[in-house]
C-alpha cells in the first residue's frame, strides 16, 4: 500500500512537471504576424526599387529586423506562388502552375500539412483575413486552415465604369483616381480587422495572425492624396530600352501569350503609361499605410517583443519593363519580392544579399518557433541569415512558371531556361535591368553549365484540373497555351 502511494505521488509530481513545462512552452512560443501584399514588386523604400517610392511603415519594419534584398517567389502567379509558400513545396513538385486548382482538390496533395495547420498542431491559434491563399481558397470550413476568419480580400469601392478602356476589357485591368474614401477600400477593412484582433486581445497566445492585402493588384485605384505623393511627369517611369526583347527567345512570349494585362505598346499609344505607374505607386503607399496601422496596433498591444513579424509579396509586377505589364515572367521584375522578418531571433537593421525564396518562410518559422522540422518542406531555414546577414547560403533562388520553365537567381547571375531549351543569362552586377542577355556568348558557357546543374531535374505536368495561364509542350514539340496550339509563326499579340 505504501509502495502504491509512493508511486502515485511520484506520478502526480511528474505529471505536474510535464504540465508545467508544456504551459511554459506554450506561453513562451513567439506569436506570428504574417503580412502579405499582392503583386508587390521591389518598389519599396528599403529595397531601392524605385527612387521616389514612399513606404515609411514597411521601411521602419525593415529597420527593426532583416530585409532580404535578393528574395524571389517560386512562381510569378498568385495561386502557385501562395500554394508553394503555404505548403513548403515547389511548383515543379506539385504541378500547381495556374490559377486553378485548389491543391486540396488534387488527390496526391490532400495530405500536405500547411503552415497554419502545422502551427495549429503545435498549439497556435490561427486567424486570417484578406488574401493569403489565392481568391477564396482556404476560407471554407472544410479547408481546415484557420480557426478564425475575417473579411475576404476585395477591391472595395469601384467607379461605375472602367476608367481606362484596355484592348482586353477585363474588369480588373484598370487604374486611376476617382472620388472615394480610403475607409471604403477592401484593404482598409482587412487592416481594421487585424487591428481589432490585436486591440481586443481575444487571440490566445501563441497566435498566428495573417493579414493579406489586395493592392497594388489591379485595379489600381487610389484617392488623390496618394497620387499627390508622386510627380505627374516622366521622372516616375522605370528605365527601359527600346526593343528590349530583341535578344530574348520567342518562347519568353509564350509565358504570357494572351493575357489581359496590357503591353507597353498600348500604354504609349493611349498615353496611359505614366498614369498606370503613378497609380501603382499610389496604391503601394496606401497599402504601406495599412501595414502601418497593423504594426501600430501590435506595438500598442504590448505583444511586439514576443511576436515574429514576416512581410512578403507573392510575386513582382512589370510596369513597362520588357515591353509588358503584369507578372508571368522569369525576370527579376516579376520574381523579386519584399521579404522582411522582425522580432525575436532576428537581428535588427540588417540588409541581406543572399538569395532567398518565399519557400523558405515555412521552415524559417518552424525553426524560429523551435518546432520539430518537417520532411515535406523543400525550402531551407533563413535563421542563419536572420542572425547574421553575411552567413553563407549554398542555395540559389528558383522560380518556375509552368513545367520546365525556370529562372535561377544567385547574387550575381540571373539564368533562365525555357521548356524548349532556349536560354537567357544576365550579369546582375553589371546589368541590373537585364537589358543584355549573355546566353549566346561563348565565354559564358562555363557559367551557364554551372548554373544549369542547380536547376530542378524534372517538372511535374500540370495537376489535374489546372486552368488559366497554363502552358505545355506536347510530345512532338507543339506549344499549347490554355488548350490552344500556338503556331511557330503566329503573331505575338499586340506586338506583330
Positions marked catalytic: 78, 134
According to DSSP, residue 65 is labeled E
Give first-to-last CA distance, the chain, whole Å.
94
Q: ∠301-306-310 over CA atoms, to 5°?
A: 95
Return the SS3 of 363: helix
Q: How many CB atoms sit inside 10 A of residue 3's CB? A: 7
DSSP-derived secondary structure for 426-443: EETTT-TT--S--TT-GG
CA–CA dist 198, 177 (Å, integer) = 32
CA–CA dist 254, 189 (Å, integer) = 38
C-alpha cell at 334: 516579376
CA–CA dist 414, 411 (Å, integer) = 9
Q: Beta-strand (E) ranges in 279-364?
A: 307-313, 318-319, 325-326, 339-342, 350-352, 356-357
Diameter of the chain measured on Cα atoms:
95
Question: How many helical (H) and strand (E) elements, i.e. helices and strands, does the chain have?
Answer: 14, 21
**Percent helix, strand and coil across the chain, each rounded to 5?**
35, 20, 45
Nearest to 78 by CA among 213, 196, 211: 213
Q: How far is CA 68 from CA 59, 216, 433, in A?
A: 12, 20, 19
Strand 71-72 and strand 356-357: pairing?
parallel
Under 8 Å between Cβ of 186 and 155: yes
Q: How many CB atoms sit inside 10 A of residue 54's CB? A: 18
Q: How far is CA 6 from CA 2, 3, 9, 11, in A?
A: 6, 5, 5, 9
Under 8 Å between Cβ of 259 and 469: yes
Q: How many CB atoms sit inside 10 A of residue 88's CB? A: 23
DSSP-derived secondary structure for 451-491: HHTTS-S--PPPPTT-BSS-EEE-TTS-EEETTEEEPTTPP
Under 8 Å between Cβ of 180 and 160: no
Amino acid at each position: 500500500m505504501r509502495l502504491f502511494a509512493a508511486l502515485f505521488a511520484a506520478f502526480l509530481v511528474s505529471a505536474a512537471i510535464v504540465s508545467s513545462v508544456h504551459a511554459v512552452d506554450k506561453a513562451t512560443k513567439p506569436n506570428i504576424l504574417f503580412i502579405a501584399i499582392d503583386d508587390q514588386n521591389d518598389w519599396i523604400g528599403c529595397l531601392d526599387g524605385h527612387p521616389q517610392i514612399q513606404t515609411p511603415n514597411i521601411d521602419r519594419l525593415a529597420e527593426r529586423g532583416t530585409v532580404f534584398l535578393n528574395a524571389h517567389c517560386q512562381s510569378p502567379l498568385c495561386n502557385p506562388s501562395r500554394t508553394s509558400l503555404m505548403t513548403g513545396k515547389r511548383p515543379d513538385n506539385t504541378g500547381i502552375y495556374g490559377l486553378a486548382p485548389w491543391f486540396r482538390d488534387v488527390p496526391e496533395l490532400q495530405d500536405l500539412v500547411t503552415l497554419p495547420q502545422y502551427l495549429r498542431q503545435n498549439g497556435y491559434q490561427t486567424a486570417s483575413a484578406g488574401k493569403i491563399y489565392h481568391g477564396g481558397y482556404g476560407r471554407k470550413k472544410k479547408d481546415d486552415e484557420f480557426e478564425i476568419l475575417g473579411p475576404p480580400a476585395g477591391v472595395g469601392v469601384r467607379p461605375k465604369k472602367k476608367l481606362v478602356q484596355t484592348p482586353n476589357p477585363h474588369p480588373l485591368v484598370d487604374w486611376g483616381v476617382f472620388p472615394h474614401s480610403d475607409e471604403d477600400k477592401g484593404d482598409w477593412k482587412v487592416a481594421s480587422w487585424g487591428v481589432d484582433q490585436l486591440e481586443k486581445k481575444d487571440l490566445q497566445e501563441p497566435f498566428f495572425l495573417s493579414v493579406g492585402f489586395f493592392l497594388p493588384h489591379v485595379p489600381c485605384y487610389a484617392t488623390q492624396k496618394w497620387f499627390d505623393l508622386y510627380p505627374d511627369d516622366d521622372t516616375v517611369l522605370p528605365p527601359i530600352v527600346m526593343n528590349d526583347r530583341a535578344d530574348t527567345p520567342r518562347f519568353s512570349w509564350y509565358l504570357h501569350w494572351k493575357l489581359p494585362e496590357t503591353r507597353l505598346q498600348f500604354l504609349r499609344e493611349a498615353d496611359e503609361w505614366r498614369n498606370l505607374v503613378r497609380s501603382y505607386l499610389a496604391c503601394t503607399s496606401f497599402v504601406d499605410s495599412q501595414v502601418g496601422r497593423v504594426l501600430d496596433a501590435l506595438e500598442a498591444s504590448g505583444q511586439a517583443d514576443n511576436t515574429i513579424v514576416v512581410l512578403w509579396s507573392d510575386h513582382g509586377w512589370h510596369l513597362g519593363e520588357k515591353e509588358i505589364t503584369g507578372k508571368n515572367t522569369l525576370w527579376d521584375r516579376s520574381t523579386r519580392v519584399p521579404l522582411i522578418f522582425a522580432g525575436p531571433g532576428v537581428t535588427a537593421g540588417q540588409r541581406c544579399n543572399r538569395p532567398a525564396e518565399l519557400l523558405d518562410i515555412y521552415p524559417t518559422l518552424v525553426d524560429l518557433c523551435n518546432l520539430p522540422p518537417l520532411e515535406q518542406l523543400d525550402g531551407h531555414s533563413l535563421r542563419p541569415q536572420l542572425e547574421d546577414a553575411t552567413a553563407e547560403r549554398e542555395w540559389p533562388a528558383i522560380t518556375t512558371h509552368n513545367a520546365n520553365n525556370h529562372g535561377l537567381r544567385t547574387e550575381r547571375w540571373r539564368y533562365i531556361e525555357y521548356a524548349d531549351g532556349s536560354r537567357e543569362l544576365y550579369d546582375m552586377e553589371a546589368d541590373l535591368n537585364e537589358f543584355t542577355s549573355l546566353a549566346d556568348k561563348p565565354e559564358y558557357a562555363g557559367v551557364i553549365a554551372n548554373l544549369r546543374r542547380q536547376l530542378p531535374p524534372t517538372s511535374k505536368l500540370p495537376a489535374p484540373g489546372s486552368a488559366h495561364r497554363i502552358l505545355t509542350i506536347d510530345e512532338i514539340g507543339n506549344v499549347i497555351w490554355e488548350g490552344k496550339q500556338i503556331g511557330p509563326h503566329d503573331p505575338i499579340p499586340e506586338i506583330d
